[in-house]
Structure 1
Amino acid sequence: MISTPSIPDPLALERQVCFALSVASRSVVAVYRPLLEPMGLTHPQYLVMLALWEKSPLSIKDLSGLLQLDPGTLSPLVKRLEAIGYVKKDRDPRDERSLALKLTPEGQKLREEALKIPFKVVDRLGMTFEELMVLNKVLHRVIEAAT
């Protein structure tokens, strides 16, 4: 009699990539929360700031593409960042018909404080920077495959 290996349940919760990604996402965002609160930022606002620290000024359309967020979701984030004085809307120097988001001096200065965050996150997660870079690379492959 030939025995076949038992096939694990493909619907088992612990085997679901969507479940692991969802829990990991919430958990990692929770690690960021106390680091961002003193700067007056939520995690989505922090992502906007990261994009602008890298490539300011940015049109709303370009920012939307970078963050993979629709403009309707992005608009309240931008309004809040404007209200606290970290960004301002200006005419896009590449296209006067559209608006671009630009860092204020306060928003630029905030970058110095934010430089500490990645190191604190690495420390809090108890993983090496190299492990997190491998994870980041794999997650980008998942994102690419799913879009």
Structure 2
Amino acid sequence: MTLQNRRRARLVRVTALVASAVGGAVLSLGATTAQAATPGSTPASAVRAALPPGVVPLNDSEPCPSATLCLYRDYGNRGPAYGIGAGYNVNLRDLPMAGGGTAADNVSSWVNNTDSVALLIDEDGPARPVFPGQHLQEPPELNDSVDLVVWP
């Protein structure tokens, strides 16, 4: 092997090692940055994977997308929120809520942008419908009482 070929082979090996080291450092830095930004949280993809089928997390106070039943922790469609696709029955205990707890007995606002009636079920009280196109602010006597969403 000539000197020039040996130098070229060494350059290829060094370049591969540097690329590998830099790539690993970038991936490691990205994971560290994400973890540092939200201590104790899990990546968004992991949160989505842990949710029941038909449920998507929404950004705080995000408007309700079409073809979705949305629930908001606070009045005025504010605070942490989730969207549920029509036809997906959901136990709100399976939806973690920012600040601790779950969405069960912790929802004050609803928006039904589906074409179907959704039933809000309180295991200790009455069930009530949310009709297509309806926006519902829970009355004080029923606020934070829903445990399940079902579709008749």
Could you say whether these structures have the same fold, taking a TM-score greater than 0.5 normalized by the shorter chain as the test?
Answer: no
TM-score (norm 1): 0.31
The structure where strand makes up a greater share of residues is 2
The structure where helix makes up a greater share of residues is 1
Structure with larger Rg: 2
TM-score (norm 2): 0.31
